[in-house]
């Protein structure tokens, strides 16, 4: 893999993101997600299904090991979670308000904004809507993972990868199931898919190259999701949601490791031009994932103008720190794949501008998977 290429051929922010300033919050907040009237969303999938006649199991030992782990780590979303647990979403939201939680806002200066006059009722409502929105995006992202992993079964050329990806299809179906059930039975509403998340999922599914499916979903989307699940797991007082998230996290650690292990082999054989394309894709995905955390759909439902939220977006250091921490899995995995320093360190520069490069030496997911995803979480006593 060449790392000395110039960055002259790298595309600009306008070409990649549709805007010159990556932190143009007014534009970020103005893009609101929507659902089609018939409840379906079609994406042209240009992938090529590939059979392999080499059925030698274990030719790629690390993938085979992951497959064996996955077979022993299954759990049943219907019977292994305590669905009888009573969940008072209103009370939880009120307690969060009393602790000083203001939905996705923490320390922003609200002077001169409509939120300056909000009282207890409005903040409790925001906490409720923010939970509904967050869990809805988890659910939509898991459906994206379900579709992408089914695509990997079709397109990846190695039997060991096909075997493992088939187990992940089952995992993702289970994740969609449990998030959907929790939202319908324990929460007070479901949100449409976030606009920035939807654009990213469309791009991943539409790309014809199987390794881009891995990069976009396994490394980027699942990597951020793993960190986001961990944060919610730490913060939620609901024992049902805490257990649900811990079970999902055990699966996700394997999923991200699957992407990194598979891409290491293929990236070693790519040209400098092909690596640059993957750097651009990783950067675009990172920005889309960060932008989707803005919660535009919540503010739209509550009648707050995007322009008002845009003025607050860059004023809350705690919010910015939280957003950057979500990349604690993505950056070290990109480094392990050699994407940070190719093309004269173009992606390193971009991640530095985003404020997330400090995570480059964090433990990558392939090292975490042995301790996080060994055995069925329903049978373990340590989680």
Domains of the chain, CATH where assigned: 13-35+48-372 (1.10.620.20)
Q: How far apart are CA 248 and CA 230, in angstroms?
A: 10
Burial class (CB in 10 A: 0-12, 13-18, 19+), 234: exposed
- Per DSSP, 363 falls in state P
Q: How far apart are CA 219 and CA 224, in angstroms?
A: 8
Q: What is the pTM of this model?
A: 0.92
Task: Cite the beta strand spans of the chain per DSSP E.
Answer: none
Q: List b or e across 270-299, with b for residues whose CB sees 16 or more CB atoms inside 10 angstroms.
A: beeeebbbbbbbbbbbbbbbbbbbbbbbbb
User: What Å distances lie between residue 226 and 282, 340, 374, CA to CA?
Assistant: 17, 21, 16
Q: How far apart are CA 263 and CA 348, in angstroms?
A: 19
Each residue's pLDDT expressed in tens, for the chain with a length of 383 residues: 444 444 558 999 999 999 999 888 888 888 899 999 999 999 999 889 999 999 999 999 999 999 999 999 999 999 999 999 999 999 999 998 888 777 667 667 788 888 889 999 999 999 999 999 999 999 999 999 999 999 999 999 999 999 999 999 999 999 999 999 999 999 999 999 999 999 999 999 999 999 999 999 999 999 999 899 998 999 899 999 999 999 999 999 899 999 999 999 899 889 999 999 999 999 999 999 999 988 899 999 999 888 788 877 767 666 777 778 889 989 999 999 999 999 899 999 999 999 899 999 987 656 555 555 567 887 776 66
Distance from the Cα of residue 291 to its chain's centroid: 12
């Amino acid at each position: 893999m060449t790392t000395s290429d110039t960055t002259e051929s790298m595309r600009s922010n306008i070409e990649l993101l549709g805007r010159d300033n990556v932190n143009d919050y007014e534009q970020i907040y103005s893009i609101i997600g929507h659902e089609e009237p018939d409840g379906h969303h079609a994406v042209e999938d240009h992938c090529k299904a590939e059979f392999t006649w080499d059925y030698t199991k274990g030719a790629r030992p690390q993938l085979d090991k992951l497959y064996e782990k996955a077979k022993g780590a299954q759990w049943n979303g219907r019977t292994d979670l305590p669905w009888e647990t009573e969940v008072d979403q209103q009370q939880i939201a009120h307690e969060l308000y009393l602790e000083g939680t203001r939905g996705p806002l923490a320390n922003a200066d609200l002077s001169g904004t409509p939120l300056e006059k909000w009282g207890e009722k409005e903040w409790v409502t925001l906490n409720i809507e923010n939970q509904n929105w967050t869990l809805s995006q988890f659910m939509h992202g898991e459906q994206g993972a379900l579709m992408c992993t089914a695509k990997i079964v079709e397109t990846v050329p190695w039997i060991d990868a096909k075997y493992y990806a088939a187990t992940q299809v089952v995992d993702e179906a289970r994740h969609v199931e449990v998030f959907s059930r929790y939202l319908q039975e324990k929460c007070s509403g479901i949100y449409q898919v976030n606009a920035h998340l939807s654009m990213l999922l469309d791009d991943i599914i539409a790309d014809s190259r199987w390794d881009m499916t891995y990069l976009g979903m396994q490394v980027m989307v699942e990597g951020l999701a793993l960190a986001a699940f961990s944060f919610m797991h730490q913060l939620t007082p609901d024992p049902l949601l805490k257990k649900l998230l811990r079970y999902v996290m055990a699966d996700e650690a394997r999923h991200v490791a699957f992407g990194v292990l598979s891409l290491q082999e293929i990236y070693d054989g790519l040209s400098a031009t092909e690596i640059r394309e993957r750097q651009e894709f990783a950067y675009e995905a990172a920005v889309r994932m960060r932008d989707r955390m803005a919660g535009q759909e919540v503010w739209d439902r509550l009648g707050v103008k995007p322009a008002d939220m845009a003025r607050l977006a860059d004023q809350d250091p705690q919010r910015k720190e939280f957003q950057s921490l979500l990349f604690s899995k993505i950056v070290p995995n990109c480094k392990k794949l050699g994407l940070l320093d190719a093309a004269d360190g173009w992606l390193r520069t971009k991640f530095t501008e985003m404020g997330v490069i400090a995570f480059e030496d964090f433990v990558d997911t392939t090292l975490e998977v042995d301790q996080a995803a060994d055995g069925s979480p329903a049978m373990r006593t340590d989680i």
